Structure 1
Amino acid sequence: MSQHRKNSSIITTASASKLSRRRFMQMSATGVGALFGAAACGGASTVTTAAKDNRVGLQLYTLRSMMEKSVTDTLKLVASVGYKELEFAGFYDNDPKDVKALMDELGLTAPSSHVLLKFMSTDADVEKQIEIAKTMGHKYVVVPYIFPEDRSTDIAGYQRLAERLNKLGETFKANGIQLAYHNHDFEFENMNGQVPYDVLLDECDADLLAMELDLYWTVKAGLNPVDYFKRNPGRFKLWHVKDMDAQGEFADVGKGTINFDDIFAHGELSGIEHKFVERDKTDDMVETIKQGYLTVSRLNDKY
């Protein structure tokens, strides 16, 4: 998830390829259905080379501008690429029951969903999220992001956050759901010799809070995800598989600089259960999700 997650649009730039611009214009002019149709007809053969028995997940935030236009067409597109698992970041005014019925038709599951803390502020809020999670079949509900205005400026604030997450985790666990936490890079900033992310790891009960490690943001912070696996084996049940280019910006998975071979080779140590492809900003959504699917499928086959 991007630090700019408040924004709902995907930015296109002048450097986008002609194909990217054409796809974007198709989406703008005729809706997601046209884009879905173009994706299904063009380049589908490249997807069929990947192993079909691998579970590869997609964080739907990657396709948020498509989701805003049509959840139905977007999920059809995702299924056509080969994805089997989804991680939601909102339902865009759709009834979760209807979304689940569509997923069942398409052979998709959603083991996880992102829910901001502000939507879990009261007991009634939490009950609502538990009901949605049960409807959708979520195993995990993930706290995705702390907005800058809500972040603590000292370690004591992260200790309070850990206490809150433990309490939330107890409630979710009592209902058969695991709470999890997704990082960006700010959690790794040193605060007078202490690191907020380490505080969350140390002070949150492993049975009450799983970690969803965003590989891009961890590397962006100058850290090696494998080092965290070694120090905290079994804690990282979920990953965001996201790549970085030579300038430190987003890249399609497998096209950047992150050493996914080393990370995937340590998957068992991590405790990994679900891997979600994500790219926060992209000029070509279809190519991004196809490339991510193929790369993660190959890595799954290898490791």
Structure 2
Amino acid sequence: MITTPNLLSPGRRQFLQQSCVGIAALTVLGNPLQALAASQSSSGSVKKTGLQLYTLRDMMEKSVADTLKLVAGVGYGDVEFAGYFGHSAADIRKLLDANGLAAPSVHVPLEVLRSALPQVIKDAKVIGHQYIVLPWLSEEQRGDSVDNYKKLAVELNGFAKPIKDAGLQLAYHNHDFELLPVKGGVPYDVLLGETDQDLVKMELDLFWAVKAGVDPLKLFAANPGRFPLVHVKDMAKDGAMVDVGTGTIDFKAIFAKAEQAGIRHQFIEHDNSNNRITTIRQGYQALSQVLKNI
């Protein structure tokens, strides 16, 4: 069990300094984020702006409790976990409840799904997750052809059955490599075509899809209802990842097709932000405005 750093530790002091800067900035803004949060709460969970906590992984390592408090203070209603940082499922649930947050989904590595699926399901039920998401494949797990993806599709269907029996849903999160041709075809086509569409849903990472030259709207049209989760990340003209609302991806057009896609939850994410506070504030404001107007 990893304990939260004590109040006098350097890591804790650094975290609190960063948090105070962020909260002070919100005060200067005259609480527009709270107003957006209130409008989202009244319009239902489909409209909530969520945050993938991988964005704040360095802060999560220092203090999960303080990170969740910060996230709630910005206005987020949903969070998606990428690890519990040594905390039990019961601890995580208490922290979420204390901050008025929900955690519809969690990222779980393939090796953990293979070795500890019953525990993953048990923890998910305690915390309140609805979706268990496979987030990443190592180069070894991918292979150099579609053959490994055909095997993975069978495996995903297998994982998905006990997950479904528990009242939960399995999903797959993409990067760009699944959307690029390899020997024998396009891996993402295999995953879409050879997994049961009711058992295995998709969490579409919008940045990585666009990075691979794939139009999310075409994916939605070809696979309606298959994308209950999306990662909202933006792209600069040079292809770099930037804060949501400062790049070139047309999120208004994408979320205009939310019903067709089946989108239920949307999570801001930035893989390597240079300023975590600015990133989560900017992302919240930008996506909240998009969701408010669809």
Q: Scaled by the length of structure 1, what TM-score is found? A: 0.88
Contact 1:158 1:199 in 2 (8 A): yes
Q: Which residue does 1:9 correspond to in 2?
A: none
Contact 1:51 1:301 in 2 (8 A): no
Q: Which residue does 2:102 correspond to in 1?
A: 109
Indicate which of 182, 190, 197 corresponds to 2:173: 182
Give yes or no for the alignment of 1:228 onto 2:206.
no
Give yes or no for the alignment of 1:257 onto 2:240.
no
Secondary structure at the residue paired with 1:90? coil
- The one-letter code sitting in structure 2 at the alignment partner of 1:97 is A
Shift of 1:73: 0.6
Structure 1: runs of 5+ lacking an equivalent? 1-26
Runs of 4+ in 1 over 3 A off after TM superposition: none
Indicate which of 3, 18, 21 corresponds to 1:35: 18
CA displacement 1:48-71 (0-9 Å, x = unmatched): 453523211000000000000000
Q: Output aligned runs, 1:117-266, within 5 Å.
A: 117-122=110-115, 125-192=116-183, 194-266=185-257
Shift of 1:147: 1.1
Secondary structure at the residue paired with 1:52? helix
Indicate which of 71, 84, 93 corresponds to 2:77: 84
- For this pair of structures, how many residues does the alignment match? 275
Contact 2:145 2:185 in 1 (8 A): no
- The one-letter code sitting in structure 2 at the alignment partner of 1:302 is N
Secondary structure at the residue paired with 2:36? coil
Q: Which residue does 1:6 correspond to in 2?
A: none
- The one-letter code sitting in structure 2 at the alignment partner of 1:32 is F
Shift of 1:29: 8.0
Secondary structure at the residue paired with 1:145? coil
Q: Percent identity?
A: 46
Cα separation, 2, equivalents of 1:224 and 1:192: 22
Shift of 1:38: 2.0
Shift of 1:226: 0.5
CA displacement 1:84-108 (0-9 Å, x = unmatched): 1010000111122112111101110
Q: Which residue does 2:60 correspond to in 1?
A: 67
CA displacement 1:187-225 (0-9 Å, x = unmatched): 012124621001100110011101000000000001110
Contact 1:51 1:298 in 2 (8 A): no
**Over aligned residues, Cα RMSD in angstroms?**
1.4
Shift of 1:134: 0.5
CA displacement 1:20-61 (0-9 Å, x = unmatched): xxxxxxx86823122212211223434245352321100000
